[in-house]
Structure 1
Amino acid sequence: MNEPLIWALSATAGLGLGAVFFGGLWWTVRRGINSPHPALLFLASLLLRMSITLAGFYWVANGHWQQLLACLLGFVIARLILMRVLGPLPMQTAPLQESGHAP
C-alpha cells in the first residue's frame, strides 16, 4: 500500500479510538453523577478506556512513528468533534445558602 493511504487509515482508526475514549468519558460522567459508587465507576471506566486506547495505538502504529502521529491526529480531531456535537453537561445548580456573615 502507499503511504498516504496508510496514514489516512491510521487517522481513521484514531478517530474511532477517540470516539470510544471520549464518548466513554462522556457516558461515565453522565452516569457518575447519580451513581451510588461513582469512584468505582470512574476507575473502571478509566482502566477500560485507557486499555482500549493504548492497545489501539500500539496496533495502529505497528512500529512506525508516522502512523502513530496520524492516529494521534485522528484522536484529537475526534475530541474536537465530540465536544462540538455533545456540548457541555448542563450545570446542576444548588440554591445558595445564607451564611449569616459577610464574605
Structure 2
Amino acid sequence: MMNDLSLLAPLLAGMVLGVVFFGGLWWTVQRAMSSHWVGLWFFGSLLLRVVIVLVGLYLSCGDAWQRWLAALLGFTVARLVITRISRPTVVNLEGDHAP
C-alpha cells in the first residue's frame, strides 16, 4: 500500500518532465521557423523529447500504476502551465480611445 508521500516524487518528476517536453517543443518552434531544415528540427526534437520523457517516467515510476498516474497528472499540469505561459499576447493596435 502506498502513502501520499510516495506519490509526491513521481508527481514532481512528471511536472519536470512535462516542462522539459513542452518547453522543448516551444523552444523548437522558436528555433525551427528561422531554419532551412524545419522538418529535421521537429523530428529530432520530438525524438529527443520522447526518449527523455519515457526514460524519466520509467525510472521514476517503476511498475506501480499509482506512481504512473501521479506522474501523468504532473505531466498534464506542466502542459497546462506551459500552454498558459507560451500563449501569445494580444496587442491592441487601435489604442484605448473611445470611438
With the shorter chain as reference, the TM-score category is 0.7 to 0.9
Three-state SS of the structure 2 residue aligned to 1:35 is coil
* Worse overlay, 53-62 or 68-77: 53-62
Equivalence map 1:16-55=2 (5 Å)? 16-55=16-55
**Partner of residue 84, structure 1:** 84
4+ residue runs over 2 A deviation: none
Specify the structure having the higher radius of gyration (Cα): 1
> Counterpart amino acid of 2:64?
H
> Counterpart amino acid of 1:62?
G
| 2-structure distance, mates of 1:86, 1:29 | 11
| 2-structure distance, mates of 1:84, 1:9 | 24
TM-score (norm 2): 0.84
Structure 2 residues without counterparts, runs of 5 or longer: 91-99
| 2-structure distance, mates of 1:89, 1:26 | 15
| Aligned sequence identity (%) | 46
| 2-structure distance, mates of 1:38, 1:88 | 21
Q: 1:65 to 1:12 in 2, by over 3 A?
A: same
TM-score (norm 1): 0.81
